[in-house]
Structure formats: C-alpha cells, structure tokens
C-alpha cells in the first residue's frame, strides 16, 4: 500500500524513465528504492515509437508496460517518453524534486542537477531484460516442440492418475 504523507512538509516527487519490458525483480527493486526517496513516483515509459527510433522493439506494448507499472504499489503515475530531450520539461511539468535512474546511466543526466537532484541507484546484480531476451532467443523451435511433447506426456499422466483415483471411489 502506498504511504500517506501525514507530515506538513511538501510532497516530494521522484521522476524516472525506462522501457520496463519483460518486468522483472530488478525493475521492482529499482522502483521500490526510488519510491522510498519521496512521496510520489512518476515514470516515463519509452513509447513504442521512441523505442523504434533507438532500434529497439519491446515484447510488451507501451500500454501493457504502463499497466504493469501502475499495478505495482510503487508507481503513482505513468506517461509516455517520446524523446531524449523531454526530460527537462517533464521535471518542471511534474515538479520533480529527484530524478533517479539505474547506475548503468551514471553521469549521463548530471546536466539536470540545475533543476532537481539527480540520483543513480545500483542495479540488481545478474538481472536484465537484455539478458532475458538473449536467453529466450537461444530457445530453438526443436526445444519448444520437445517441451510441448513433455508437457503433453505429463498431462496424460495427471489425467490417468485422476481417472484412476476417481475409479477407486
């Protein structure tokens, strides 16, 4: 559950950006730590068009990625990131106090320190969407057929067991 700010101090807004494709524990941990820095977390999610301009294609659509983020307890608002240049305007638009990114971006956004505090948080070790996509790409059609065959065989066993249990009653 999102904490309620009961203090009289002004709310602190944290802003971050990302593609957030194939949502995983690294994403969840980063969002949780970002949220702990303030009272509100606003996330710019790379639009499908922006990803295409970077030569990337997401498995999930922008709408799906936005829905997943909003379903977490950490994210309060999501909007489309359509260009690299929009960050300064977004900081002003959302009145962001903190701009936070993963440490893989260290130093890349230091020029924004004149409008808010810029923070880089450590990434979760050994977890990345790129690595997940590479691992999935190694799965061959033959592997899928073999897995499907194994699943059918396992299902046959379960069905046979269920029917034999039903026959003994």
Enzyme catalytic residues: 54, 56
Q: How far is C-alpha 79 from the chain's CA centre?
A: 13
Contact predicate 41/35, CB 8 Å: yes
Exposure on the CB side of residue 5, measured as CA atoms within 13 A: 12
Q: Measured between alpha carbons, how far is 133 from 6 in angstroms, rounded to an integer?
A: 43
Burial class, 46, CB count within 10 angstroms (exposed 0-12 / middle 13-18 / buried 19+): buried
């Amino acid at each position: 559950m999102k904490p309620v700010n009961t203090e009289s101090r002004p709310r602190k807004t944290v802003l971050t950006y990302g593609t957030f494709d194939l949502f995983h524990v690294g994403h969840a941990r980063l969002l949780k730590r970002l949220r702990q820095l303030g009272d509100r977390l606003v996330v710019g999610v790379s639009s499908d068009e922006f990803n295409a301009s970077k030569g990337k294609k997401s498995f999930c659509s922008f709408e799906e990625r936005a829905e997943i983020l909003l379903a977490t307890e950490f994210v309060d608002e999501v909007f489309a990131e359509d260009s690299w240049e929009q960050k300064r305007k977004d900081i002003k638009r959302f009145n962001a106090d903190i701009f936070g990114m993963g440490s893989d971006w260290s130093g890349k956004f230091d020029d924004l320190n004149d409008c808010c505090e810029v923070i880089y948080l450590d990434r979760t070790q050994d977890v990345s969407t790129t690595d997940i996509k590479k691992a999935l790409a190694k799965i061959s059609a033959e592997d899928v057929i073999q897995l499907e065959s194994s699943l059918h065989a396992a299902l046959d066993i379960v069905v046979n067991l269920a029917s034999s249990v039903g026959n003994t009653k």
